[in-house]
Amino acid sequence: MKDFYRVIGNPVGHSKSPGIHAAFAAANGIDFDYATCLSPLDGFAATVAQLAAAGCKGANVTVPFKIEAFNLCSRLTPRAQAAGAVNTLSFDGIDVAGDNTDGAGLVADIVHNAGVAIAGARVLLVGAGGAARGVILPLLDQRPASLTLVNRTAATAQAVAAQFDQPIAVCTFDALAGPFDIVVNATSASLAGEVPPLPPSVFGPATLALDMMYGAEPTAFMRFAASHGASVRDGLGMLVEQAAEAFLLWRGVRPDTEPVLRELRPAGPR
Ligand code: NDP
């Protein structure tokens, strides 16, 4: 039987992960099976147990199960612990190990694909939900000059920042003073076509503004940032890079992401 992997979500039919992992496997001469797995909203633990019993080697986890995945793992990596959420499961019999590759994916996309150093940079992280929490430790590990956190609900940002040993400046939107070298939009505002209430002064001509969301068109955040002089980027590179990190975990080889990104976006990075 071929090794098999799944991405578990609800909904999950739209996921790009099967195509990305198939491309990684083909490029590395690996023959494995990777497909979507739609879990009932109230049946995530049972879905995971069934996959493990059937001999599944690993799974990615997407909306809305990342926190449930965190809670059911018997082992967690430090970055999954810091994130409070799991996006990658590795099965060893009934033992389920959890990791979170989202932050490493974001860092790889900024540093390697966009060519922007996080070390020494002033970084603004917008949002304090699961995605934001997942990227804080990997961002801090790059030794930025500063990391500022801003969120619509300020108390959530305070609570998130308090979970980390290293200093994180928590700010309100009104009090933000820029420009920043890197601005990451980790809110779900883009899903509603909205832009967080950022003052234009957070952007400058040397700013990289990255929206974790991706789609056929630039998001409202990307258009707003570009109109104030920033270079912009969406979350597709982060998606491909987090998948490469999961592939590394499962197969021991980090695939080349450039051909996959080129195929997903023939017009080049945005
Ligand atoms: P959560 O629901 O956990 O968090 C949502 C966050 O967005 C909260 O901080 C919330 O603030 C804020 N928010 C929502 N609407 C607005 C608004 N209109 N204005 C300002 N702030 C707003 O979502 P996630 O953290 O899981 O996901 C966030 C985004 O990241 C999604 O778009 C998701 O698709 C994307 N993502 C992309 C990945 C990739 O690989 N490219 C990986 C993971 C996520 P409050 O606390 O006040 O409610």
In this predicted structure, the answer to whether residue 2 has a pLDDT above a threshold of 70 is yes
Determine contact, residues 166/142, Cβ cutoff 8 Å.
no
Q: Ligand 1: which of 173, 188, 264 to mutate, most ligand atoms within 8 Å of CB?
A: 188
Query: C-alpha distances in angstroms, 95 versus 9, 35, 66, 89, 228?
Result: 20, 21, 18, 10, 50
List, chain by chain if needed, residues with CB within 6 Å of any ligand 1 atom: 102, 127-132, 151-153, 156, 186-191, 194, 196, 212-214, 235, 238-239, 242
Strands (E), 4-137: 4-9, 33-38, 58-61, 75-76, 88-92, 95-99, 122-126
Q: For the beta carbon of residue 76, count every other beta carbon within 10 angstroms.
A: 19
pLDDT category of residue 266 using cuts at 50, 70 and 90: low
CATH number of the domain bearing residue 222: 3.40.50.720
The count of structural domains within the chain is 2
Residue 263, Cα to own-chain centre: how many angstroms?
A: 20
What is the average per-residue pLDDT within 116-124? 98
pTM equals 0.95
Q: Are residues 219 and 123 in the same domain?
A: yes
Q: Are residues 73 and 162 in the same domain?
A: no
Q: Are residues 27 and 118 in the same domain?
A: no
Q: Tell the residue nearest (CA) to atom 32 of ligand 1.
A: 188
pLDDT attached to residue 20? 98
Contacts of 194 (CB under 8 A, 6+ apart): 220
Is 83 part of a structural domain of the chain?
A: yes
Cα–Cα dist 263/270, whole Å: 14
Q: Are residues 96 and 198 in the same domain?
A: no
Q: Are residues 72 and 114 in the same domain?
A: no
Give 178-226 pLDDT, tens digit per residue. 899 999 999 999 989 999 999 999 999 999 999 999 988 999 999 999 9
Which residues span the domain enclosing 191? 103-234
Q: Tell the residue nearest (CA) to atom 11 of ligand 1.
A: 152
Evaluate the omega torsion of the peptide bond into residue 11 and state whether it is cis, within 30 degrees of 0: yes
Q: Are residues 215 and 187 in the same domain?
A: yes
Q: Are residues 129 and 218 in the same domain?
A: yes
pLDDT attached to residue 142? 98
Residue 150's nearest CA partner among 177, 128, 122, 118 is 128
Percent of the chain with pLDDT over 90: 93
Q: Average pLDDT of the chain?
A: 95
Give 221-259 pLDDT, tens digit per residue. 999 999 999 999 999 999 999 999 999 999 999 999 999
In this predicted structure, the answer to whether residue 177 has a pLDDT above a threshold of 70 is yes
Give 62-93 pLDDT, tens digit per residue. 999 999 999 999 999 999 999 999 999 999 98
Q: Are residues 212 and 108 in the same domain?
A: yes
What is the average per-residue pLDDT within 127-138? 94
Q: Are residues 107 and 220 in the same domain?
A: yes
Is 95 part of a structural domain of the chain?
A: yes
* Helix (H) or strand (E) segment spanning residue 236: helix 236-251
Edge-to-edge, what's the strand order for the sheet holding 231-233? 169-171, 146-150, 122-126, 182-185, 208-211, 231-233
Q: Are residues 87 and 143 in the same domain?
A: no
Higher-pLDDT residue of 178, 103 = 103
In this predicted structure, the answer to whether residue 270 has a pLDDT above a threshold of 70 is no
Is 269 part of a structural domain of the chain?
A: no
CATH number of the domain bearing residue 38: 3.40.50.10860
Q: Separation of 100 CA from ligand 1 center, angstroms?
A: 16
Q: Are residues 195 and 130 in the same domain?
A: yes
What is the average per-residue pLDDT within 16-24? 97
